[in-house]
Amino acid sequence: MKPRALITGIGGQDGSYLAEFLIARNYEVHGLVRDSMNKPRLHLAGLGEALTLHRADLGDSNAVGALVASAAPQEIYHLAAQSHVADAERDPTDTLRQNVLGTLNLLEAARRLPVVPRFFHASTAQIFGQPSQQPQDETTPIRPINRYGQSKALSTELVRTWREAFGMFAVNGILFNHESPRRGLGFVTTKICRAAAAIRAGHQQELKLGNLAAVRDWGDAREFIVGFWQSLQAPQAADYVFATGQLHSVENLLEIAFGAVQLDWRKHVVVDQNLLRTTDPNQLVGNPAKAARDLGWVARKPFAELIREMVYAAGAEA
Ligand code: NDP
């Protein structure tokens, strides 16, 4: 029998890479989607019969219960979330419903199966808010400062409780930023890489950005999803920070992205005060030592290589 996995958020960046990774390892993969089964899902094309999609509302406990029971997975990867900080500020109620209730319904549905599956939850560094400790690790206090971070903090605590009080094999991956050519359009890496390609092609003249001095710990999504899987193969369930441990500024990103297409970013970038965030955590940098020690997971992709790849992929699409 093939191992079976259920992935929520399967159409997104991480979900689609994880589906490919698992299918290559002979898994039967089930995916939860929230809207029409007929919606084109570019990143899932070509995965064939090893992939089965199911439509369900994560906020509906009956629907989630029925889906989990019918798929009967050995592993659940809960990656679906309203994952954009600005969208979460605009609609905090819906963000909490999707991110927290969805996690609760899945954990409960999983716990009721005769063979309880292992459970991975995609948490985020944003649960740490403005930490006094640098870098952050699994022991850093959870003190979110925005709605997205708050919703993920609550989900993270649910997962811990289901592990510690109810004995489930449940893992929080505390994820620092990770990117790829499949990264969503609203994120700064994608915005910059696509703009560099579009300006080079003559389709765009300028790029408006907020704080150019903002720094992030940016890794490669294709390495992160391997860590998700490794965390569910470990002898014991625990939380893990997945991060590179390296900080880069937006300005540094601009140098690399525009440099990849022989442009000087200073001639094209306009700082727009309206794009400055008031609830943006700074200095989030992760210490992935526990994942390295327990799982053998290490982020290897050089930042410049990742950004250049994103620019070339955007150029090929333009
Ligand atoms: P994406 O935004 O690319 O993918 C999220 C997916 O979740 C999308 O396919 C989306 O579906 C789906 N989704 C959102 N809400 C729901 C819902 N209510 N019901 C069903 N599906 C839903 O995110 P990533 O792949 O980049 O991230 C995966 C997870 O990791 C997310 O939970 C994110 O918060 C977390 N994370 C990611 C980081 C990163 O840097 N990438 C950093 C820290 C945490 P649709 O296609 O319909 O929109």
Picking from 19-23, 177-181, 184-188, 222-226, which range would have the lowest pLDDT averaged per residue?
184-188
pLDDT at 33 over 70: yes
Query: Which distant-in-sequence residues (6+ apart) come within 8 Å of 259 by Cβ?
Result: none
In this predicted structure, the answer to whether residue 50 has a pLDDT above a threshold of 80 is: yes
The verdict on the CB of residue 98 being under 6 Å from ligand 1 is yes
pLDDT tens digits for range 243-290: 999 999 999 999 999 999 999 999 999 998 777 665 556 689 999 999
- Residue nearest (by alpha carbon) to ligand 1 atom 13: 80
| HEC string for 122-133 | EEEHHHHCCCCC
Q: What is the mean pLDDT of residues 45-66?
A: 92
Alpha-carbon distance values, 177 to 81, 189, 191, 235 (Å): 15, 10, 15, 27
**DSSP bridge pairs for 6:** 30, 76
Share of the chain above pLDDT 70, in %: 96
Q: What is the pLDDT of residue 63?
A: 97
Q: How far is the CA of 72 from the centre of ligand 1 (A)?
A: 22
Q: Can you tell me which atom of ligand 1 is nearest the CA of 99?
A: 18
Give the span between the Cα atoms of 261 and 240, in whole angstroms: 37
CATH hierarchy code of domain 184-217+247-283+302-317 = 3.90.25.10
pLDDT in tens, 195-223: 999 999 999 999 999 999 999 999 999 99
Query: What spacing in Å lies between the alpha carbon of 13 and ligand 1's midpoint?
Result: 7
Give φ, ψ of 270 to 5 degrees. -115, 130
d(CA 30, CA 288): 29
For 4-178+218-242, CATH number out of 1.10.760.10, 3.40.50.720, 3.40.50.970, 3.40.50.2300 equals 3.40.50.720
Mean pLDDT of 168-180: 98
Nearest CA to ligand 1 atom 28: 79
- CA-nearest residue for atom 27, ligand 1, is 14
Sorted by where each begins, the domain ranges of the chain are 4-178+218-242, 184-217+247-283+302-317
User: Residue 316: is its pLDDT beyond 90?
Assistant: no
Instruction: Collapse the DSSP code of 28 into the 3-class scheme (helix H, G, I; strand E, B; otherwise coil) and give the result.
Output: strand
**Mean pLDDT, to the nearest integer, of 77-89?**
87
Residue closest by Cα to atom 3 of ligand 1: 12
Ligand 1 nearest-atom number relative to CA 148: 34
Amino acid residing at 56 = A
pTM: 0.96
pLDDT at 28: 96
pLDDT bin (cut points 50, 70, 90) of residue 35 is confident
Give the pLDDT mean for 114-129: 97
Q: Is 38 exposed, middle or buried (0-12, 13-18, 19+ CB in 10 A)?
A: exposed
Give the largest Cα separation in the chain, rounded.
62
Give percent above pLDDT 90 in the chain: 85
Q: Please say if the pLDDT value at position 188 is more than 90.
A: yes
| CB 13 less than 6 A from any atom of ligand 1 | yes
Question: What's the pLDDT at 113?
Answer: 97
What average pLDDT does this structure show over 300-313?
98
- pLDDT score at 279: 55
